[in-house]
């Protein structure tokens, strides 16, 4: 919408508030609301969209210091929708962030990084568009409790679907609990969340997101997946944020709670965000070759070479939490192996083979999870792939065997993703030149990201005793 169209829409729909949303550095939406009584004329709207609205950047994670706190939000009118959550009629608009003195885009604004990545792609002449299709998985729980203090620490999760509740007195217990690792595609009543997911899909479609499918996922205890149709990089990152917002709030209205935490449950599947991607130029899919392995072009193979070559560093953005590495554990079903293959879900890069349609040819990078900031994760993946194309990085031979069943000698030849967030951050410190091309990522953003993760996530967890340590060590 143009500002003029927004004004007409406000009057036509009797909109009472305009809600401004933006992304902090770790990847959580922030917002505040402006009453439309402040936006009564075309001049009001023009000033609103051009001059922006101030906010305190020092109160946002990963942003400014206290002595340089003033920042500006510039609403992007093209992202305007009716907010699908708010009770009062509200317009939701995603914002870009500017420095108020220089009026330049803020280097730590994740959305700006995504936009720069798309601009860099165009500047290379290799392609003019990249398409992205993340598969977002999450858990729906009935109860969650957690606390940590000087003398205790615990968490407790519960789900009506959890196999651990087969013997609970539920007055009555109606059974139909999903067995561990057997939650993939059961029909109701085992799938007790069909109607709830349908409500989520209805709300997502109403918010302008094109949904392809929804279903129960593998884990017991309420794991779910709702898949969006692919789109351009920044648009898809915007939709990932809206997706989380809608799904969490629909669950809450139904007295449920959603988490995108990669590994909330012990000894069952975690939640990932397998990320499909492809490059296009002049309407032609550059990843397709009728004579290539898996119908992939040489360009696609070099792109894969870039992903695998830089995978250690990429994990600092794609699997950016301590909990991410409770999912990415060798020997289980997690995609930790840095190899590529057709159909093979034990490889980090899978080539979907559902169709031979040239327009559908893409590669799927499987290690990411939904705790990532999608603007930064997609941008980093694109930069790694482009580096692979530019430097003609050979990904080697595909691995079409089940990697988990390889002999120890063969398995030793396959590299894996890092085993911890600390390892990923160390890899990023050593390997980040590919991210700095085109000023897409900046040194200050990388420095703040690494310091934030170490100071605010790694150290606090490292310094606290884990409950299971008492089982191991208390009686020694």
DSSP 8-class letter at 77: G
Establish whether 135 is a catalytic residue. yes
State the catalytic residue, choosing from 43, 56, 210, 397: 56
189 token code pair: 């009543």
Give the helix/strand (H/E) hosting 301. helix 298-309
State the catalytic residue, choosing from 239, 366, 369, 457: 366
State the catalytic residue, choosing from 118, 137, 191, 369: 137
Establish whether 51 is a catalytic residue. no
β-bridge partners, 132: 231, 277
Specify whether the CB–CB gap between 226 and 137 falls below 8 A: no
State the catalytic residue, choosing from 239, 274, 310, 327: 274
Establish whether 366 is a catalytic residue. yes
293 token code pair: 């392995």
State the catalytic residue, choosing from 83, 96, 109, 225: 225
Establish whether 475 is a catalytic residue. no
Other beta carbons less than 10 A from residue 188's beta carbon: 11
Distance of alpha carbon 153 from alpha carbon 393, whole angstroms: 47
**CA-wise closest residue to 299 among 345, 343, 348, 361:** 361
Establish whether 78 is a catalytic residue. no
Establish whether 137 is a catalytic residue. yes
State the catalytic residue, choosing from 217, 268, 422, 457: 217
What 3-state class would DSSP assign to 351? strand
Establish whether 364 is a catalytic residue. yes
Distance of alpha carbon 425 from alpha carbon 385, whole angstroms: 19
State the catalytic residue, choosing from 135, 268, 289, 387: 135
State the catalytic residue, choosing from 214, 345, 400, 454: 345
State the catalytic residue, choosing from 24, 83, 118, 364: 364
Residues 6+ apart with CB under 8 A from 412: none
**CA-wise closest residue to 273 among 227, 308, 241:** 227
Positions marked catalytic: 56, 135, 137, 217, 225, 274, 345, 364, 366
């Amino acid at each position: 919408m143009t500002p003029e169209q927004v004004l007409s829409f406000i009057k036509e729909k009797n909109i009472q508030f305009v809600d401004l949303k933006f992304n902090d550095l770790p990847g959580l939406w922030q917002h505040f609301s402006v009453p439309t009584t402040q936006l009564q004329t075309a001049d009001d709207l023009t000033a609103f969209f051009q001059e922006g609205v101030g906010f305190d950047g020092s109160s946002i994670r990963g942003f400014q210091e206290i002595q340089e706190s003033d920042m500006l939000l510039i609403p992007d009118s093209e992202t305007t929708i009716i907010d699908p959550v708010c009770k009062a009629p509200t317009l939701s608009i995603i914002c870009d962030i500017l420095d108020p003195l220089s009026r330049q885009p803020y280097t730590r604004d994740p959305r700006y990084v995504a936009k720069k990545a798309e601009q860099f792609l165009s500047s290379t002449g290799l392609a003019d568009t990249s398409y992205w299709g993340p598969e977002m998985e999450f858990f729906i729980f009935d109860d969650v409790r957690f606390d940590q203090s000087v003398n205790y620490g615990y968490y407790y999760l519960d789900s009506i679907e959890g196999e651990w509740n087969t013997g609970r007195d539920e007055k009555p217990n109606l059974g139909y609990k999903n067995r561990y690792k057997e939650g993939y595609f059961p029909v109701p009543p085992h799938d007790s969340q069909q109607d709830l997911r349908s409500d989520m899909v209805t709300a997502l479609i109403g918010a302008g997101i094109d949904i392809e499918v929804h279903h129960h996922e593998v884990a017991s205890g309420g794991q779910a997946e709702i898949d969006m149709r692919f789109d351009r990089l920044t648009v898809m990152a915007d939709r990932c944020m809206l997706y989380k917002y809608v799904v969490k709030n629909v669950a809450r209205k139904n007295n449920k709670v959603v988490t995108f935490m990669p590994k909330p449950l012990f000894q069952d599947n975690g939640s990932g965000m397998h990320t499909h991607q492809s490059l296009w130029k002049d309407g032609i899919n550059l990843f397709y070759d009728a004579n290539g392995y898996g119908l992939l072009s040489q360009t696609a193979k070099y792109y894969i070479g870039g992903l695998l070559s830089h995978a250690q560093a990429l994990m600092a953005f794609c699997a950016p939490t301590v909990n991410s590495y409770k999912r990415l554990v060798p020997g289980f079903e997690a995609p930790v192996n840095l190899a590529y293959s057709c159909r093979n879900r034990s490889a980090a890069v899978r080539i979907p083979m559902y169709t031979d349609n040239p327009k559908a040819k893409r590669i799927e990078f499987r290690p990411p999870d939904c705790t990532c900031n999608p603007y930064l994760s997609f941008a980093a993946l694109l930069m790694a792939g482009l580096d692979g194309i530019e430097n003609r990085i050979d990904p080697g031979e595909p691995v079409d065997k089940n990697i988990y069943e390889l002999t120890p000698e063969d398995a030793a030849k396959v590299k894996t993703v890092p085993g911890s967030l600390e390892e990923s951050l160390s890899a990023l410190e050593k390997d980040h030149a590919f991210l700095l091309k085109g000023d897409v990522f900046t040194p200050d953003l990388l420095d703040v990201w690494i310091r934030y993760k170490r100071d605010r996530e790694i150290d606090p967890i490292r310094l606290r005793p884990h409950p299971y340590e008492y089982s191991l060590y208390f009686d020694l």
